[in-house]
Structure formats: structure tokens, C-alpha cells
Amino acid sequence: MRAQDQRPAHSRLRPQRRPAQQPAAPGRRKRSLRPPAQHQFAAARRLAGRLLHLGRRLRRRQLQRVPQRIRHAGRGRRAPPDAPATFRAGGRGSQPDGQYRRLYRIGQGQVQLYRLRAQGNRGGQTGTIFKNNGWDARFEAKHARIGNMTGVIGTQFGSTRFSALGEEAFVPTTDTDNAALFVFEEMPLTADGDLKLNLGGRMDHTSLKSYANGNDRFADASRSFNAGSASAGLLYKLAPAWSLTSNLAYTERAPTFYELYANGPHLATGSWEQGDPNAAKERATSLDLGVRFKSGPHSAGISGYYSRFSNYLALTNTGTARDAEGDFVTPGSAGALPVMQYMGVPATMYGFEAEGKARVAQKLLTGSDTLDLETRADYVRGENRSTGQPLPRLAPLRLGGSLVYGAGPWGRALT
């Protein structure tokens, strides 16, 4: 499965290329400038501690700017509950409706702080205020070579608070904390390096707490999950510009707060959404095969995948209906909202992803500017193995393209 706002549990990291080493002068012994491995890991631990401390300070300052009292009235359309996960404002600065994201980089690590504030309104009156405040930190470090094996170890952690205050709130105020440890290893299997083995692993811990805040539809609750993932892949270089890839992975994903605690009318989709507070982790085994092309500024790739889920959290129609006040009514009657509930089902998914990039022009206005054409396409199909029915809310065939102009540190894209 290729989720947009919930990526696969294992971390897909590209190994960094090591700079070419200059030959030692004749008669002089070549001296390594790299510190011992234990010193590298000690520095990594110190930097990870600084990142965690900085993230906590940034979050405290961020929450101090959130208003304590929110005025609301009326009814209107809402933002989706997962809007904070799909919010990807680049750079640093303000956005409409109080949206912004700040990114701090320290060495090989980064701490980012984000905020989303959206509101539903009709006729100039605010019905519901949706807010999300949080921070996320990530640190990566290359470890010393182990035989022919090179790799990266890293950690990622963060915290968010989501709240929906108003008449249309269908998810409670929820705190989500997560921490992860991942590793990626690469080892050549042939002397010329044309065949390489890639291994990856990731462990995630996620804890969620919901608060009713006096709303009868919700309850104070908490859940925690430990999710593990592992992958193994091969990369074979057919020619200088062509390579084949394959990957076998087992992944687990913790449920999100709305998959657990949603309970109310979601007017944007015209349904009554209900979570499952006892939901288990998603589990899947996936296989993908692909081919890549890279020649100078031109590149392309296409891959097909197949995923088999032992437990897939699908939003399923229960066949019942409620009105906006929560009373059960006859399905199809005036004001009836079909009840959609998140349920764990066995499922399969398959599809493909393709992308390409071609340099169409250069030195248009300056001596170093470029113009590239980027294209992409993806397609996915899913089926509930228990019923044979298609899985709901999967994206159809998507095609896209962009013209990207770059001039040194400046760039502009037309999509």
C-alpha cells in the first residue's frame, strides 16, 4: 500500500555516496581522518539529545501562542481529520488561517515545528475550529564499515495535539506521541558491485490519548502500540544507465486517532464516521519489482507492487444511518447519514508507480539555468478478501506533470 499521509513503517533511505579519496603521496603513509567508531556513536548520542531538548523547547513555545478561549457558532464544512499529516508548507513563515511550518536543521538531524488551524463556516459564522500543533525530529548517522557492509542508523520522534472545538467535531481532542529507531544496510554481493543487497528495519512506539472535554459522544481513553517492520531487497545493474530493483517487506502500522476515536457526523463526506477503539495494528507483506534509468540529467523509473494485508483498517458501510444529532433513522430518509465504521479486514492491493525527468533546455537566461520536464503516474486497486468488494476511498489512476525551472539556488515549478 502506498499511503500519502501515512508512509510505510519501514524507512526507505538512500545511502549517501562517499567522496572520492585522493591517493596518498609516495613514501608517506595514508592517514585516516575519520574518528573511531565509538567516538562517532558518542557524538550521535549527544546530538540526538540536543535535538530532543530543542524539540521540547520549541513545542512549549509553540503551545504558549495557542489561544485559550475559542469562540464558535453556526455550522459549515470541515477540514479532514488528517489535514495536519498532509499539510506540507515549505520554508518558514505564515500561511492563511494560521498555518505555518518551521524547520530547524542541525548537522545530519532536523527538528520541524508545524501548526494547522482551519475553521468551518457558513454565512460568515464559524462552526468548528480545527487545530493541530506539534513537532517532529529526525536524526541519521552513518556507522563505520562492517566488512563490505555500509549503512545508516537513525531515530525519529515527535508529538502532536489535535483538537476540533465546535458543533461539528467528530473526533475528540487527542495527543499523539511517537518514537522510532531504524537502520538501513547495503552490501555488494559481487566484486564489481553490480549486484547489491539492501536490508532495512524499523521499530515504532506510538501512544494516543483522547479527551472527551464534556462531549457525550467521546470518552477519555488511551492506547499504545509497538510496530515493527523489516525489508530485504536486491539491486542489479544491467548497464551503466539501467538497473533492476526488487524488495520484499513486512510492515506494521498503528491506527490513527480518527481510526480509533471518531464518532460523529462528517458533513464533508456526508456520512457518520465511527472509529474502533479496540482496533489492532495494520499488518501487510509486500513485494515490488521495478526498473530504473539514469543518464545525466535524465531519469525514469517504473515499479509494480502487490501487498497482502492480514489486517487492513477500512472505512466500511454498516448499512445503518443516523441523523446529525446521532439518532438512528431509516437509511435513505431525509437527513440520513450512512454510518461508516473503521474495521480491520483481510485485503489485497496491487498497482504501479512511474516517474520520469528530462532536461528540455538549459542556459536560457543565464549560463547555468535549466528547464526540466517531470512526469508521474500511479494506479492502485484493492479488494476486501472477506467480501470480494473493492476497498473504499482508494485514489483512481493519476497522471501529472511539471515544468521545473532552476537557476542556482532559485527555482520555480509549473504543475
The per-residue DSSP string of 57-94 comes to HHHHHHHHTS-S-----S------TTHHHH----SSSB
Answer yes or no: is 103 within a domain: yes
Answer yes or no: is 297 within a domain: yes
Q: How many domains does the chain have?
A: 1
Answer yes or no: is 71 within a domain: yes
Contact 386, 353 (CB under 8 A): no
Each of the 415 residues of the chain gets a pLDDT tens digit; together they read 444 444 444 444 333 333 344 444 444 444 444 444 444 445 545 544 554 444 444 444 333 333 322 222 222 323 333 333 322 222 333 333 444 455 555 555 666 776 666 655 555 566 678 888 999 999 999 999 999 999 999 999 999 999 887 777 899 999 999 999 999 999 999 999 999 999 999 999 999 999 998 888 999 999 999 999 999 999 999 999 999 999 999 999 999 999 999 999 987 889 999 999 999 999 999 999 999 999 999 999 999 999 999 999 999 999 999 998 899 999 999 999 999 999 999 999 999 999 999 999 999 988 889 999 999 999 999 999 999 999 998 989 999 999 999 998 889 999 8
Q: What is the DSSP string of 298-362?
A: EEEEEEEEEEEEEEEEEEEEEEEEE-TTS-EE-TTSTT-EEEEEEEEEEEEEEEEEEEEEEEEEE
Q: What is the model's pLDDT at position 391?
A: 95
Amino acid making up residue 43: A
CATH of the domain at 279: 2.40.170
Answer yes or no: is 14 within a domain: no
- Cell 527538528: give the residue: 111
Range of the domain at 361: 38-414
Answer yes or no: is 374 within a domain: yes
CA–CA distances in Å: residue 240 to residues 216, 237, 246: 64, 7, 18
Answer yes or no: is 32 within a domain: no
Q: Which DSSP state fits 149? A: B
What is the rounded distance in angstroms from the CA atom of residue 53 to the CA atom of residue 174? Answer: 23
What is the rounded distance in angstroms from the CA atom of residue 167 to the CA atom of residue 218? Answer: 13
Q: What is the model's pLDDT at position 186?
A: 97
Q: What is the model's pLDDT at position 168?
A: 72
Output helix, strand, coil percentages for the chain, rounded to the nearest 5: 10, 55, 35
The answer to whether the Cα torsion of 268, 273, 277, 281 is positive or negative is negative
What is the rounded distance in angstroms from the CA atom of residue 250 to the CA atom of residue 255? Answer: 17
Answer yes or no: is 67 within a domain: yes
What is the rounded distance in angstroms from the CA atom of residue 328 to the CA atom of residue 8? Answer: 37
Answer yes or no: is 24 within a domain: no
- Grid cell in block for residue 44: 550521535
- Grid cell in block for residue 38: 565509538
Q: What is the model's pLDDT at position 59?
A: 42
In the three-class reduction of DSSP (H, G, I as helix; E, B as strand; rest coil), residue 96 is classed as helix
What is the rounded distance in angstroms from the CA atom of residue 96 to the CA atom of residue 120? Answer: 14
Q: Which residues contact 85 (CB under 8 A, 6 or more apart)?
A: 5, 6
